[in-house]
Amino acid sequence: MSKSIKLAILGLGTVGTGVVHLINDNLDELKRRSGRDITITEVGTRRQRDDIDPAITQNSDLMAVAASNNVDIVIELIGGTTFAKDVILQAINNGKHVVTANKALLAEHGNEIFAAAEANNVHVAYEAAVAGGIPIIKVMREALAANKIDWLAGIINGTGNFIMTEMRDKGRPFADVLSEAQELGYAEADPTFDVEGIDAAHKLALLASIAFGIPLQFDKVYCEGITDITLQDVSYAEELGYRIKHVGFAVRRDGDGDKAGIELRVHPTLIPQDALLANVNGVKNAVLVNSHPLGQTLYYGDGAGAGATASAVMADVMDLVRVLGSDVAAKHVPHLSFQPEQLSDTPILRAEQMTSGYYLRVHAFDNPGVLADITRILSDAGINIDAILQKPAHKAGQVPVIILTLPVVESQMNLAIEKIENLETITDKVVRIRLDELT
């Protein structure tokens, strides 16, 4: 067997510890598959750990580990976007390949990091950054490389999906389920990233760049979380044959003028109950990709947790082990799948330019003509109603009216909602949730 490949792991949290365990458990398998011996030579950890093999050097100076002569591949698992960036650039500038699970860092600074990697003829691999253990990055960069991708839709935050599933199935309170997700190692260090949709937006920015060959543009992703979803809306949606899921969409819109561009959006949305994505529950993630000529393909699995993420980290390590010592530029797929000088400047559409169906919950006084007023406003705005459900009056003569619409540009919907809210018979703000048929 030729020279041993030396790994450094920076950060021994949930995922870092999971990688150490995976290597210990599956070392023979890793060696047989790669044809090389694989050794963790150093770990960068601020706190000394007594559960680590004494043959591994523990160093609290992570910048030194990233530059060490005793390391070929640096695995960054500390998270965050400041020190993690410095340490990754340190590794790159010292000729190390990097494997990272850091979606926030890549979504926000990936253009700079990938350029530095190209300049130093090293690779930054990031399978673990999106959808946990699902090998979606490899699929998008390699297996679908011959296809034109029209859109993708993904449940790409395990914590959020776990919370929504437990709320729907067991009526458990939000905070209670979130604590459990934290205990299980699913949630981000700052769990608002999970529940406000920011983590999903980071992942969507990465997927969209690979899908459409555009630079990373996290700042242009429209982002809504799950904190405002009520059990009442979950139950109305079910009654109408839909399920509310938190979904990331990257959609290419071909058209004239300002209609042409790319929609990047993460938000709760109604999807048909019989759609496969509607049945992705718990910590599972799934990404549905619609491409030409292949058509729709769906990728499904655990989206968070130590084992799933360690699996993705080590898949990247194995890829790098196979190409180490050869010309990386010649052998490796470009970071975003497209040649860096060929990235497209297709605009990312603003939220008002994006198109989707809507679920509206309107609270009105139970007076004659109320429904007619609402439907007239929608029809005047060219908005097509797909379904309507009026519940009996429940408090002080107020009736909840639930309306599902066909797809409409958001700016039109905004105007219509403003008019509805100005009606004297309307008692509350209109609740809106997007609706996507996934076809």
Q: Which residues are catalytic?
A: 203
Residue 366, number of CB atoms within 10 A of its CB: 14
Binding site for ligand HSE (CB under 6 A): 132, 157-159, 186-188, 194, 199, 303-304
User: Minimum Å distance from CB 135 to ligand HSE?
Assistant: 14
What single letter denotes the amino acid at residue 249?
Answer: F
Separation CA 136–CA 288 (nearest Å): 10
DSSP H stretches of helix in 126-244: 136-138, 158-170, 174-183, 192-195, 198-212, 231-239
Reading the block at residue 113, the tokens are 């990091």
Reading the block at residue 274, the tokens are 């019989």
Count, residues in the chain: 439
What single letter denotes the amino acid at residue 111?
Answer: N
Residue 78, number of CB atoms within 10 A of its CB: 24
Phi-psi region for residue 392, left (φ > 0), alpha (ψ -120 to 50) or beta?
beta
Q: For ligand HSE, which is the closer residue by CB, 305 or 400?
A: 305
User: Minimum Å distance from CB 157 to ligand HSE?
Assistant: 4
Q: What are phi and psi of 195, to 5 degrees?
A: -80, -20
Q: Could you write out the DSSP letters of every residue in 8-61?
A: EEE--SHHHHHHHHHHHHHHHHHHHHHSEEEEEEEEE-SS--TTS-TTSEEES-
Q: For ligand HSE, which is the closer residue by CB, 11 or 303?
A: 303
User: Minimum Å distance from CB 308 to ligand HSE?
Assistant: 8
Question: Per DSSP, what are the bridge partners of residue 361?
Answer: 402, 431
SS3 391: coil
SS3 426: strand
SS3 361: strand
